[in-house]
Amino acid sequence: MSRRTAASRWALPFALGATAAFWVVVFLDPQATGWGDWQFFHHMWEVGRVGVERYGALPLWDAHHCGGITLWGNPQAQVYGPFFWLSLWVGSTVAIKLYLAFHVFAAFHGMALLARRHGLSIRGAMVASLAFGGSGYFAWHLAGGHAPFAPFAFTPWLLLAWQRAPSDPRHAVVVALLMGLTLWEGGVYPLPYFVLLLAFDAATRLHREKLRLVWVGAAAAALALLLCAGRLIPILDTLAEHPRETDLLDRLDWNAVWSMLMARTEPEHPVGAYSWPEYGAYLGPIVLLLATFGLARAWKKERVWIVGLLVFGALMLGNKGPWSPWRLIHHLPVYDSLRVPSRFMIFVTLYLALLAGAGLDQLMGRLRSVSGASAAGATLVVILLGFDLLSVNARVIDRWDGAAITTDAPAERFHLTSLPYARYADFPQLNVGTGICYDPMDVPSVPGLRAGDRPQATIQGPGRVTSLGRGLDHVWAEVELEAPARMVVNQRGGSSWQLDQGQSGTIDREAARLEVELPAGSHRIDLRYRPKKLGLSLGLSAAGALGCLLWWLAFAWRRNRRPVVKADPS
């Protein structure tokens, strides 16, 4: 076992203990649901769970929201990630809580290893780990329902793999897998932020590693793009159909930043254009004081931490004028849809955490010169920091007090309901939907939808619908028409709805609702949701997975063929 591996064995139990300390409260009532945006995200988990359990397949369409809306093209859908499948065994509520606990554990563990890789002592790495994984950023965003922010926990692991890739190209596969997992888990926000972080880190190392970093980075980018294609292509299609309008008005002053890092409770007055959960990122006085001491050590050994703090801190400040970083990145594709600059606080937290760990080591070095009590003092600082973060951020996490997902029998006939948002996650189980749109994709509501348990398809003309049914991504009807007429289904239409091959009729692509022109006679009509480029996007992701395997095997084989140099016995 290498010295580095042996020195890092403490990191796993430390991360497990820290995760349990901060997040055990969400498991005290396992079926209690979350607050804030959790009804929206929990709803999508339930769409997936009900789809698999009731219809035997994972859905591509969400009939229960916004009069019907794409699930496959929803950037924040998490049902295509690996943790979703836990919901089939333990239910969606417990699965979501395990999903969050895993990601927080990854944040604690990865940060500890990253700090050790950069030469911090064990206690310094503990400080960095606590400051990152136990930060108010994760507490407020994850407890408040910003489920797609969970992959930000991969940040230290991504940096570890990225920094090792030039010396061991197998880590290019790890970078690609983490990027792919991020998007398949619905992490549409972390992914473009990660690209900026890796580009910044590469720029600081290019003068040392030059061409090796370039070609390994290019391979990682290509593999990541292929892995992400399965989700990226439908997301881009959705955004092209429903452009996301943004404004650049939000900005932060230094008082707001101070409140974000130091406020132990939600301030009475707003600090920006959005609600407090977008800003809460408590680190407290211990982290900030240690980070100040850490500047001296970082200036000698890790100046990139200081530069990173300044770069991403400037982005976090938002719209400070036409030449501010926030305004400049909005000239780039994808980045022009970002709305909330305070979300860059995750990387500010990263560098402050590393600086705080370095600061503890700096203090230990000074204490060691005057006494032998430096280790005990450093241990005390770690304990005090843990209690401080726990006393503030665990209270934020401890808000899982919503009603459990209903176990009531589903409605015999699917229909739109006027149940309130507080029941939103219950809609899939109840077999009901809503015409109200609560979605960041700027999808408009559908005019003319009718609420209530009434027929879900009507005929405009002489004729009638004799039967109607709904499957997962499938609507079928049997009609009797005395003359050509139009069938109108009480849901959203769209270009991806198709008639089964050989069936008579024409879908009106211009209509907001799902409307079909039909000839006279008796017909069975099968309408299916088939997203554009479904086969292409999945095929590219499969090619990416195969590419990752081949790349890993090639460099593992090359590594094993290196000659072993034996020591000279003399």
Residues 481/519, Cβ–Cβ less than 8 Å = yes
C-alpha 64, offset from chain centre: 22
Own/partner long-range contacts of 198-206 (Cβ < 8 Å, ≥24 apart) = 198/158, 198/159, 198/162, 200/308, 200/311, 200/312, 201/159, 201/162, 201/163, 201/304, 201/308, 202/162, 204/304, 204/307, 205/163, 205/166
Whether 325 and 463 map to the same domain: the answer is no
Q: Is residue 264 part of a domain?
A: yes
Report the interhelical angle of 171-184 vs 155-164 (nearest 10°): 150
C-alpha 512, offset from chain centre: 30
Last residue of a domain, one of 529, 548, 564: 529
Query: What per-residue confidence (pLDDT) applies to 6?
Result: 52
User: Domain total for the chain?
Assistant: 2
CATH number at residue 502: 2.60.40
Residue 54 vs residues 35, 154, 378: alpha-carbon distances, Å: 27, 34, 56
DSSP bridge pairs for 432: 415
State pTM to two decimals. 0.93
Whether 392 and 484 map to the same domain: the answer is no
Residues 432/411, Cβ–Cβ less than 8 Å = yes
Whether 311 and 383 map to the same domain: the answer is yes
Q: Is residue 45 part of a domain?
A: no
- Cα–Cα nearest to 482, from 498, 454, 460, 515: 460
Query: What per-residue confidence (pLDDT) applies to 210?
Result: 79
CA dist., res. 564 & res. 552, Å (int):
21
Query: What per-residue confidence (pLDDT) applies to 121?
Result: 93
The residue count for the chain: 570
Whether 392 and 462 map to the same domain: the answer is no
172-192 per-position pLDDT tens digit: 999 999 999 999 999 999 999
Whether 255 and 326 map to the same domain: the answer is yes
Note down the domain range covering 508: 457-529
5-34 b/e with 16+ CB inside 10 Å = b?
eeebeebeebbeebbebbbeebeeeeebbb
Q: Give the residues of the chain that fall short of pLDDT 50.
A: 1, 3, 564-565, 567, 569-570
Whether 462 and 385 map to the same domain: the answer is no
Q: Which residue is it, tokens 């239409």?
A: 493
Residues 386/22, Cβ–Cβ less than 8 Å = no
Residues 88/53, Cβ–Cβ less than 8 Å = yes
Whether 376 and 478 map to the same domain: the answer is no
Whether 81 and 222 map to the same domain: the answer is yes
Q: Is residue 419 part of a domain?
A: no
Whether 380 and 501 map to the same domain: the answer is no
Q: Which residue is it, tokens 């600061």?
A: 359
Q: Is residue 34 part of a domain?
A: no
Residues 136/396, Cβ–Cβ less than 8 Å = yes
Query: What per-residue confidence (pLDDT) applies to 4?
Result: 53
Q: Is residue 107 part of a domain?
A: yes
Query: What per-residue confidence (pLDDT) applies to 7?
Result: 52
Q: Is residue 201 part of a domain?
A: yes
Whether 372 and 508 map to the same domain: the answer is no
Whether 216 and 284 map to the same domain: the answer is yes
Q: Is residue 487 part of a domain?
A: yes
Whether 192 and 339 map to the same domain: the answer is yes
Last residue of a domain, one of 397, 420, 438: 397
Q: Is residue 82 part of a domain?
A: yes
